[in-house]
Structure 1
Amino acid sequence: MQEGAWRGVWTRRGNSNVFDGRWTQSGQRDITAVLTIYTSGPFIFILRRNSSDGNNCNYTGNFGADGRTASGQNICNRGGGAWSAVIERRGQPQPPQPQDRLGRRWNVQEDGWTGVWTRRGNSNVFDGRWTQPGQRDITAVLSIYLQGNNVRIERRNSSDGNNCEYRGTLSNDGRTASGQYTCDRGGGSWRATILR
């Protein structure tokens, strides 16, 4: 996709309406963000959030007649303008996710931080917020993958710039999970209570 001098690639998460975006421009630092795309007939509305440059946006537009292109306008915290996109359909089947075991919310403890992870619809994507007295809240987007009772979690678009990988084990009753995590900076142990 094209936005002025910026070129963007938005990659869909499974069959959800959530996309991971990366924008590049020569001589500039790459920008990443999470996009949620809503459609109604030919009309498109897109929320760009968790932008690495802090510049969140709303996009409006329309699909082209062939459904392979889209274009419109965006308005951001700073600036805005025209955008256009070419839509690639990969057609590759996604592996089934045992998402029924993911619950609606995870209440998490991580070395002094208290986290609340809230699921987006029926996807494996969660919005996380961590709090600790005397510290600024941290937000991030989490993708949770289950294989048997093994849990792998990707924490991305962290507001503090500290992205992480979590690994652990789901209890047999599916109500708790625990394990270790490593981040760009630091790491430790985590445990979660899963609410359905």
Structure 2
Amino acid sequence: MTTVLLTGFEPFAGDATNPSGDAVNLVADHWTGPENLVMAVLPVTFHGARLQLLELIVEHSPDVIIATGLAGGRTGIAVERVALNLKDARIPDNSGEQPVDEPSVRHAPDAHFATLPVKAIAADIMAAGIPASVSYSAGTFVCNHVMFAALDGGEPGDRAAGFIHVPYATENAPEGQPSLPLSDIAQALRIAIRTSLDTEVDHSYAAGSIW
């Protein structure tokens, strides 16, 4: 059976909730298959998030990995195309770690491209009336670190993997911050899963240096 691994994050930086974690829980609560869905909410820590993700990959051997995280200030769903081999934290993670100018994985490539069909995902989400775009910067915090971990260590084409940033959920958004209803965020993730399963991707560019 085809297995999909879908992850979000716990709250961080003083927020009471994290829409990525809330949305993946909502997707899991209403999942009807036919694929096997494995859902996890990762800690917002460089060490813990990567370790848990890799343990999930070893345990479940997923065919598709879609990791998600919050990008406060963005107005829509952002489907990330590139993960940098870089940890450069503006603020500490939830364990107090704040790496600066460190590689995510030593002796690994400078970057990895997503092996999800990023343009098709963004187009299908927009076709459903939910704002979305392809993004070329996943940042240098734990989100980017997890995306790099999902893509590193395998051969291109082994699995479809990547990362999606989501805005605040309207139900819990700080005043003045752009947001989307949590139900729309969850629907966007369902679309991302289905598009990833149904779209063939050329993985020839996906590994190695970005240049």
Is this a same-fold pair by TM over 0.5?
no
The structure with the greater share of residues assigned to helix is 2
Determine which structure has greater relative contact order: mean sequence separation of CA pairs < 8 Å that are 6+ residues apart, divided by chain length: 2
Larger radius of gyration: 1
The structure with the greater share of residues assigned to strand is 1
